[in-house]
Structure formats: structure tokens, C-alpha cells
Amino acid sequence: MTDPARSMARSLTGCAAAWWLALAGLAIPVHAQAPADALVLVHAGRLLDRPEAPPREAATVAIRNGRIESVHDGFVTPEGYADAQLVDLRERFVLPGLIDSHVHLDTDAGGEARLLEALTKDIPYFAYNAAVNARKTLDAGFTTVRNLGGRNGVTLALRDAIAAGKLPGPHILDAGNGISGTSGHGDATLGLSPEIAAHVSEDNLCDGPEACRRAVRLQVRRGVDVIKTMTTGGVNSRIGAGLGRQMFDDEMRAIVETAHLYGKKVAVHAHGAEGITLALRHGADSIEHGTLLDEEGIELFLRTGAYYVPTLSTVNGYLERIAADPNAYPPDVRAKIDWRISITGQALEKAYPRGVKIAFGTDAGVSKHGRNADEFELLVKHGLTPAAAIQAATRNAADLLGISADAGSLEPGKRADLIAVDGDPLADVRVLKNVEFVMKDGKVHKGRPAAAEPAALTQSHIPSR
Ligand SMILES: [Zn+2]
């Protein structure tokens, strides 16, 4: 802050200009001083308010009570609003807060380290992990995440703590514990001795339709937002049963019917083609990973309107762990990882040109938390335009999560969840790896708005209340 600006800030009291200077120069957090119903005006150098349309040039987002009130071309000034505040992002590109449709906030460990962690750490350890990872995720510009599976319920409690304003983090939709058949990808006893396995809770495992209905209801009873299930083996699961189908029609039907009965969407982990088609035939809302997607799967995607969440970032996590320790994974898991690395992106390259709807999801936890935006580069590498990749993480992900009334674009009525970057993400999507500014629910979480002189204002009109 310059000395003249400092003295101006001292001499001005109570007027709109004082608010403006306070925000522009002193970087006082908006929420530290704003009355709840104060008008906040965000000046954006460029604004991608509707991700499927070209960005606006200079524009203003008017915010009240944490929601967007209106969007205007040009820089609207706060004259006539004694309580108005101005957030100056005139040098930056502003876009909706990002959405990651597939994370696991409670851990960063993988392979042998993950097994050891599960056996030796307690619930408070995972709870603190989840809180730290939530903050990293919000710092990275992801204002909403869907947490697809955690064993101990810590992310359900974290979801509520963040919503109550007790901790910083993204809005969370949580699946509780993922449901699978006995010996399936969600069987936490895989790799354990029978003596230890006898002490592991298995209420997320189901064999037969009645048990599968009950398994879903047990998660609903815990207060989950969405149901996660697994129709095939997993790359990380410690079993030699491969990545093919591991669930029957009547089981999958029971899971989807029960979840939908309670208004919960179903996210399905599936690698093998028969596991993908099984899930889509019975009404899955999204396929996670989808590695061996075939023609039948593509046609089912198009017919049902389900989303594909490619989770390409998992490969980054595998490669980094193997680089740090060649023995990070046991041999049976390592074989699957090498295969996944060799084939990654191929399903997306088949699906996207055919019109399959893509939602952004990283599987963070396998890859590193806070590096969620690395997925953008991989989506573009495998055929999406930067604009399409951004849509996958905004409009599309909001649709998949069922939160389009709140998120996915910057339109009146929606949450004031927005981020700003230097540079143009539509030209180079990698700029999203360095999110400079994060606002969630109308409150500044990260970044100081750049200082600028009031004379730089080019327009003066006031949004209607
Ligand atoms: Zn996952």
C-alpha cells in the first residue's frame, strides 16, 4: 500500500470509498467487517459467469447475503450504498468456484502406507487429516467437493462443521462408506489376517438384493448426500480378482432403487466394461474411472444421460509414490497400476467425441489434495478443450451433484463462490493450478484484491436491490 493511499484510508470515514480502500489496500477480510446483508461488488477484468458461453470483458458481480444478486457489464460503483464493499479483481480472470466430483479427504496415503495407516491410526488422526485436506482443497479454488467414500464418518462431521462456519473448507457432499460385495473393492478386510479382519466393521458389504437394500439404508441413516458403490475390483484393492465385474444385476438394481427412493444419486466405481454397463443399465448417475469403457457403455451413457468422471489424476499419484519408493505397492497392486498408467485417458478419448457428458473428478487422496487442478491439464491432453474442461468442473459437476441451483455458474440466486486467476484459463488451462483469489459464500477465503485508484472506475450505475 502506498503512503498516499494510507493517509486517504485514515482520513475517510464511514463512506463507500472507505470500504473500497479498506478492501483494495489493506486487504481486510470482507467477512471481518461486513454486515450480513451488505452489498459486495466484485470487479472482474474478465468474467466467465456462464461457463458454456464466451467470457465477458470488464464486469461486476453484485453479491448480498452470500448469494449473487446481479451480474453487469462494466465496473459498477457502490455510490449510494453506504455499506457497499468493493473487491477489486480488475487485473484478473474471474470464474465460478471449481467442483471436484471425486475426492477422499481423510487420507493422502497409498499402497502399503495406506494399509499401515488404516491399521495403526485412530479416528481423530483421520479427522485432522480431513480438515487439513479440506483447507488445501479450498485454497486451490475448489469450493465444492463430493467425497466418495471414507470408512469412519469423519468427512460427514467435517461437512457439517464447515457448513456451520467452524472450519475453512469447501462445501462437501458426502457418500459415507462405499458399498460393495464381500471381497469387493470396498471390503476393508482385504490384505488383513483373519484374526484382525474379524474386528473390522463390514456394514458396507452386501451380498444379495436384501442385504444391498439394507447397506444403502445404513448409509442413508448416517445422513449421507449420495451413495457410492463399486461394481468391479479396484486398482488399489489388495486382491487378485482383477478389475472385472463383481456384482450381480439384482444387487445393483437394489442399490440404485433404494438410493433413488431416498433421493440420493449413485456414483459407481467401475473399471471393467461389464461393471460399467451393469451400473448404467440399472440407473447409475455417474461412472467413476470407467477405464475399459466399450461401445455398449458409450451408448448407455448417451441413452441415460449419466456422467463420466475420468479421474485421470490417479496416475499422478501412482507415479509420484513409485518414484519416491519403488516398493510403495505390493506386486499384485503394482501390476494393476502399471496397466492403468498405460491405458489412462483412452476411455475419455472414446467417450468425449461421442457426446458423453463429462464431470471433473480427481480421486484426490490417491493423487495429492490441493493439486486437484492438475486434472485440467490431463483432460485437455486427452481431448477436451480448456473451455470444456472448465465446464466439466463447473456447470457439469454441479448438474451431476444436483446443486445447479447453488453452484456451477455465476448467475443471480446462486452462491457467491468464485475464484480469480492471473492469465486466461481458456487459452492455457494450467493457469488454474495457481488460483490467486477464492471467495466462498460471498466471503473472501484467500487472496488480497489488487490495489487500484478510484479514478479507474469506468461506469457509475447501481444495481437494483
Ligand atoms: Zn475414489
pLDDT tens, residue by residue, 394-408: 999 999 999 999 999
Q: How far apart are CA 350 and CA 161, in angstroms?
A: 41
* CA 402 to ligand 1 centroid distance, Å: 19
pLDDT tens, residue by residue, 231-260: 998 887 766 567 889 999 999 999 999 999
| pLDDT value at residue 237 | 75
Q: How far apart are CA 263 and CA 61, in angstroms?
A: 33
**Length of the chain as a residue count:** 465
* CA 148 to ligand 1 centroid distance, Å: 6
Band (pLDDT 50/70/90 cuts) for residue 28 is very low
Contact 43, 89 (CB under 8 A): yes
In 3D space, the residue among 194, 192, 196, 160 whose CA is nearest the CA of residue 176 turns out to be 160
Distance, first Cα to last Cα, the chain: 33
Which grid cell is 405? 441451483
332 CB neighbour count, 10 Å cutoff: 14
Band (pLDDT 50/70/90 cuts) for residue 449 is low
* CA 311 to ligand 1 centroid distance, Å: 8
Rg of the chain over Cα atoms, rounded to whole angstroms, equals: 23
The pTM (predicted TM-score) of the whole model is 0.89
Band (pLDDT 50/70/90 cuts) for residue 20 is very low
| pLDDT value at residue 174 | 98
* CA 101 to ligand 1 centroid distance, Å: 10
Contact 422, 92 (CB under 8 A): yes
* CA 233 to ligand 1 centroid distance, Å: 12
Query: In which residue ranges of the chain is CATH 3.20.20.140 found?
Result: 98-401
* CA 335 to ligand 1 centroid distance, Å: 19
Query: Which CATH number fits the domain 3-96+410-456, given the four candidates 2.30.40.10, 3.40.50.2300, 1.10.10.350, 3.30.9.10?
Result: 2.30.40.10
* CA 385 to ligand 1 centroid distance, Å: 25
Query: In which order are the strands placed within the sheet that holds 85-96?
Result: 67-73, 59-64, 39-47, 85-96, 418-421, 435-440, 443-446
In 3D space, the residue among 91, 96, 52, 92 whose CA is nearest the CA of residue 71 turns out to be 96
pLDDT tens, residue by residue, 299-343: 999 999 999 999 999 999 999 999 999 998 888 888 888 988 999
Strands (E) across 127-211 are located at 142-147, 171-174
Query: In which residue ranges of the chain is CATH 2.30.40.10 found?
Result: 3-96+410-456
CATH superfamily of 98-401: Metal-dependent hydrolases (3.20.20.140)
| pLDDT value at residue 10 | 31
* CA 20 to ligand 1 centroid distance, Å: 44
> Which residues have their alpha-adjacent CB atom under 5 A from ion ligand 1?
363
* CA 43 to ligand 1 centroid distance, Å: 37
Q: How far apart are CA 465 and CA 161, in angstroms?
A: 32
**What DSSP character marks residue 122?**
-
